[in-house]
Structure 1
Amino acid sequence: MAAKDLYEKDFYKVLGVDKKAAADEIKRKYRGLVKDLHPDTNHGDSAKEEKFKAVSEAYEILSDPKKRAEYDEARSLFERGGFRAPGGGGNFQGGDFSDIFGGGNPQDIFANLFGGGGRRGPRKGQDLQTEATITFRESVFGTNLDLRLGTDRGAAQNITARVPAGVNDGAKIRVKGKGAPGEAGPGDLFILLHVKPHPIFSRKAENLTITLPITFTEAALGADVKVPVMSGEEVTVRIAPGTPNGRTLRVKGRGITKGSHVGDLLVTVDVQVPQRVDGKALEALKTFAVETAGEDVRAELAAKAKQ
């Protein structure tokens, strides 16, 4: 990409964030955008496809602290008209920049953002980026990606990339030497990963989370309940008598293995209230209500509302 094309692009505007936005804010904004714009959910929508490419390009720069700093510095100089032609002429139109860059060229600043390297000596080829979608299970246990990528010359190459266990949505993996060719060897290929949601599991760091429906009687009286885990097995969790709705139980060592660390499974209880009660069950509940009529569970509510 030409320097002029790059510095004229406002990547912050593309992502809809402030120039001082923190890394986590940029990441959240990016994830929200790609969820809506991803080609897998917008087949044939060329406008969203172009927007998706622009968002991915912006995130590639702003998610990398070094690239972001270089981009901010170079763009700031261009915006201030810092690059002038020889003799104090107009703004950059391909003039001499030796007075500012010590014999270099601002083109190289932008080239570095995309793996172009410096001006001296043979250059490695440009780094390339592609995207791939994997399942939640594959993100937990790892997988091999088989990709078929086109080249500038129209040929295609088959690439196998290893996705390590425990990767997050939005993670990048690098395949060395699979980028564009160059005098000093090819660049690298970066694969941006999108993880599909799972029907029942989610994650918090290296912990897996699941919501466990239990009956009113199991919550009131206590019970031993089976819970599925990602390996396909089931584990038993003990529900203590009087367990309230929303309580979270921890099953050690049943989360995500990432390096030497193993996360846990966090089980959040969801008490199911029956929609209809008849017969003996109804009579038993009425008796229970009479026997507990003296207990006011909302006694402190009114007092706290006045504070």
Structure 2
Amino acid sequence: MSKRDYYEVLGLSKDAGERDIKKAYKRMAMKYHPDRTKGDKALEDKFKEVSEAYEVLNDSQKRAAYDQFGHDGVDPNRAGAGGFGGGADFGDIFGDVFGDIFGGGRRGGSRGPQRGADLRYNMELSLEEAVRGVSKEIQIPTLVHCEQCKGTGAKSGSKPKTCPTCHGHGQVQMRQGFFAVQQACPTCHGKGEIISDPCPKCHGEGRYERSKTLSVKIPAGVDTGDRIRLSGEGEAGEKGAPAGDLYVQVNVKEHPIFTRDENNLYCEVPISFTQAALGGEIEVPTIDGRVKLKVPAETQTGRMLRIRGKGVKSVRSSVVGDLICKVVIETPVSLNEEQRNLLRQLEESLGGQSSKSSKKHKPRSEGFLDGVKKFFDDLTK
């Protein structure tokens, strides 16, 4: 029986890219894999066909030969006539594509000493520390190289031995029909070596746990969510392999006065209604101290007043944000009778509650009342 076109098998056009080929194979291999088809011979043959097509189209040389000569170009029996031969190891193909799911993939020899793990440290900062920058000492528990055995794990004067089960590869292969599964060697647990006489200090691990103190320089302008990377300050690697990195994760605590939005700072500034009406200068706080702020006459509550350059300097540029003050007009409390009378006199001088002249002095209130009246008039129509 003649073979189907490999592009047709995977449902691809002839100009498909590597990513498209891998995605198509992954989708179809999951559909026809023997673990899902439960012994159905026709579907098992379909899986073999899909895997064979992928084995050719995913290899640039084989694909070029197939595009030029068709199936003859990749026929193992015609290797001398331009074919590539060798056949397909479907277990390796499946592992190469699905290694991220099943932990498989192609492996050549021992995995070798592994780089140390990265560590994370959560650091809380006050807003002042984040804005100005600060140096802090931190203490972290981590794995360090054993000085006594120099990271080998073997007692001084002895050496690790090659694992007799995996012969130093760290992995063994189990076959189920044509499907191959690789797993860590049960004898050496993936290390490829056996230590018969372990180091007494690290108990054969080549590393041991110890707390170390580090000085961390926090640059000015950091904010919650920023990370600072300290290269090589993570866990020590296996058998002398490089150490991982330490990532310091920044979290800025809430401030009682200021809130931050990127490079700008915001705060609420209470003023009396006399100051709001007449205007004047008031003192407001900044991160660097107090400054004078000019309040325009007839200022309404909620108005935003900007002080340029009193925000936060960006950690990534020279841009400095602003301090934005929200005016909140404070109503006086605990008034005595004389003060109440003075306020009544002021109210009368402004035209009272319903006088037409009050529109001149209270445009927002009058505008609101006009809007309410129109709303109810529209309801009654």
Give the TM-score range, shorter chain.
Answer: 0.5 to 0.7
Question: For residue 198 of structure 1, what is the aligned residue in structure 2?
Answer: 255
Residue 234 of structure 2 corresponds to 179
The corresponding residue for 1:188 is: 245
Equivalent position amino acid for 1:150 in 2? P
Distance change (3 Å), C-alpha of 1:145 and 1:186: same
Deviations 1:144-191 (A, max 9, x none): 121111124221111122211111112221111111222541111111
SS where residue 369 of structure 2 aligns? coil
Checking the alignment, whether the CA contact within 8 Å between 1:97 and 1:106 is kept in structure 2 is no
Distance 1:194 1:304, change over 3 A: farther
Corresponding residue of 1:8: none
Map of 1:252 onto structure 2: 308
**1:215, distance to aligned residue in structure 2 (A):** 0.9
Gaps of 5+ in 1: 1-76, 111-118
Matched, 1:146 2:92: no
For 1:246 and 1:109, the matched residues in 2 are separated by 59
1:107: Cα distance to partner? 6.7
Q: In the alignment, which residue of structure 2 is the partner of 1:299?
A: 369
Supply the distance in 2 between the matched residues of 1:237 and 1:304 (Cα, whole angstroms): 40
Structure 2 residue aligned with 1:125: 116
**Residue matched to 1:134:** 125
1:88 to 16, 34, 47: 34
1:98 aligned onto 2:97: no
Flag the 1:103–1:240 CA change in 2: closer, same or farther, 3 A.
closer
Which letter maps to 1:220? A
Q: 1:123 to 1:90 in 2, by over 3 A?
A: farther
Which structure has the greater CA radius of gyration?
A: 2
Alignment of 1:1-307 (within 5 A): 82=30, 88-89=34-35, 98-102=92-96, 105-106=99-100, 123-152=114-143, 153-182=208-237, 184-231=241-288, 233-258=289-314, 259-291=317-349, 292-293=351-352, 294=355, 295=358, 297=366, 298-303=368-373, 305=375
Q: CA deviation at 1:239?
A: 1.0
Distance 1:104 1:138 in 2: 47
Q: Aligned to 2:244, what secondary structure does the other structure show?
A: coil
Aligned residues: 216
TM-score calculated relative to the size of structure 1: 0.61
What is the identity percentage for the equivalent residue pairs of Structure 1 and Structure 2? Answer: 28
- With a CA cutoff of 8 Å and minimum separation of 6, indicate the structure with the bigger relative contact order: 2
CA contact (8 A) 2:134 2:220 kept: yes
Contact 1:97 1:105 (C-alpha < 8 Å) held by counterparts = no
1:179-221 alpha-carbon deviations (Å, 9 max, x no partner) = 1222541111111122111111111110111111111111111
| Cα 1:81/1:128, change in 2 over 3 Å | farther
CA 1:103/1:226 → structure 2, altered by over 3 Å: closer, same or farther? closer
Task: Report Cα offsets for 1:219-272 as digits up to 9, x if no partner.
Answer: 1111200111111x2111111111111111000100001131001100111111
Alignment root-mean-square deviation, CA? 3.4
Q: For the residues of structure 2 that align with 1:272 and 1:98, how far apart are their CA atoms?
A: 76
Task: Extract unaligned runs of 5+ from structure 2.
Answer: 1-25, 38-89, 105-109, 144-207, 360-365
SS at match of 1:197: coil
